[in-house]
Structure 1
């Protein structure tokens, strides 16, 4: 079913998450110290991480930032903070989704299952259809997108994109010169089973632009059409 890391220093919450996940067939490991999370993840074998923001010795934000540089697995942030700025910050650092405390354990399990299934589809581990079709290569200026190999290149240098960013980029690249609203992109890439909203799209578009555009102040590949949405120029 999958191995889940529970990065949580509240013993009761961690055990609750563990009990529900293991009763649904998942293997779990609890790590309560933020400083130990990254080292444990780099050992490999984890399919998803439930990441508390307020961890001792190393915050969930710092962990998310570091993990996204080397490890590409779904990150589901678990937090008591509900302010929009905290949510946007987490998503901006590469988190896939978030859930706030207190939460319904059955909803947590459903969210974990949804992310794992989507991740397996995106990486070719499942039979479901996704938005990334088997096109050999898409060229936009000095950027090359290879959907089959799940790779992106700029000026001959490979760029690392988390799955959600890659799927969003591929969807737009394979539907060029069409203006998509944030709501449409959110529906296509995230679906309806996420607690985030269309503002998540803007965060991910900005992250993609940081990696592929030559001038962030005047983006040419992914253009903002004010009042309408975004367009991939090809």
Structure 2
């Protein structure tokens, strides 16, 4: 089945250029030229992934990402001419799954689109497909529960809204409670790419997870930092 990609940028030439590279790969493309149009397109169409510029009129890419994340977890790849770490971190903090700086290599962008779609599809494989992937489908630590079938995370019975990347990180750590994973380990297992300068990217996602599952993110109960080594989920039994 062809996937629907929404391209959002106020520069129509860039939108057309991205469409030019996506269409031969079998993707259906939709266009929007600011954040408000993007949200409208998302409401009116089944969109599988969004490629969106940061700097746009009416509603920029960061605010649009934040608005979309209120009730939608589809992959979002942000585009920006800025190449500073803080800009990338801000985008990831708003809920983006990936970040590509302009000018970008079209082949790299296509590869990232395919990678994000593959990850999202794997997370949302129907639970009744009659394929047993793992005998353990529910992972827990104390009041934290991750259901691999329904793709839900709950904390003390209350559902936690979580992005596909955050789900994969939690699944990795909950599947290996008490084991410390470095940023490099997490990046290569979750993003399925060779890790290069990945520490800040992983740290941003870890912080977002902690803000969602911890009562006090500065004194976490579940997701611990082992300074100088990496991260782990505590094995809490009760």
Above 0.5 in TM-score?
yes
Q: Does 1:227 align with 2:228?
A: yes
Q: How far off its partner does 1:137 sit?
A: 2.0
Going from structure 1 to structure 2, the CA distance change for 1:60 and 1:105 (only over 3 Å counts) comes to: same
Structure 2's unaligned 5+ residue stretches are 127-132
Q: Distance in 2 between matches of 1:214 and 1:93?
A: 20
Alignment of 1:96-135 (within 5 A): 96-124=97-125, 133=134, 135=136
SS in 2 for 1:144: strand
Going from structure 1 to structure 2, the CA distance change for 1:178 and 1:194 (only over 3 Å counts) comes to: closer
Tell me if structure 2 keeps the 8 A contact 1:185–1:201.
yes
Structure 1's unaligned 5+ residue stretches are 126-131
Q: Does 1:78 align with 2:69?
A: no
Q: How far off its partner does 1:187 sit?
A: 1.1
Q: Distance in 1 between matches of 2:58 and 2:42?
A: 16
Which residue pairs with 1:33 in the alignment? 34
Tell me if structure 2 keeps the 8 A contact 1:99–1:195.
no
Q: Does 1:69 align with 2:74?
A: no
- Deviating above 4 A after TM superposition, structure 1's stretches of 4 or more consecutive aligned residues are 193-196
Q: Distance in 1 between matches of 2:101 and 2:196?
A: 10
Q: Distance in 2 between matches of 1:84 and 1:224?
A: 21
Count the aligned residue pairs: 228
Tell me if structure 2 keeps the 8 A contact 1:64–1:94.
yes
Q: Does 1:169 align with 2:170?
A: yes
Q: How far off its partner does 1:195 sit?
A: 7.5
Which residue pairs with 1:22 in the alignment? 23
Q: Distance in 2 between matches of 1:190 and 1:178?
A: 19
Going from structure 1 to structure 2, the CA distance change for 1:122 and 1:80 (only over 3 Å counts) comes to: same
Q: Distance in 2 between matches of 1:188 and 1:21?
A: 26
Which residue pairs with 1:7 in the alignment? 8
Q: Distance in 2 between matches of 1:161 and 1:114?
A: 19
Going from structure 1 to structure 2, the CA distance change for 1:151 and 1:209 (only over 3 Å counts) comes to: same
TM-score, normalising length: structure 2? 0.90
Q: Does 1:144 align with 2:145?
A: yes
Q: How far off its partner does 1:196 sit?
A: 6.7
Which residue pairs with 1:198 in the alignment? 199
TM-score, normalising length: structure 1? 0.91
Tell me if structure 2 keeps the 8 A contact 1:48–1:74.
yes
* Greater mean alpha carbon deviation, residues 159-168 or residues 21-30: 21-30
Tell me if structure 2 keeps the 8 A contact 1:154–1:212.
yes
Q: How far off its partner does 1:98 sit?
A: 1.4
Going from structure 1 to structure 2, the CA distance change for 1:196 and 1:34 (only over 3 Å counts) comes to: farther
Q: Distance in 2 between matches of 1:13 and 1:196?
A: 28
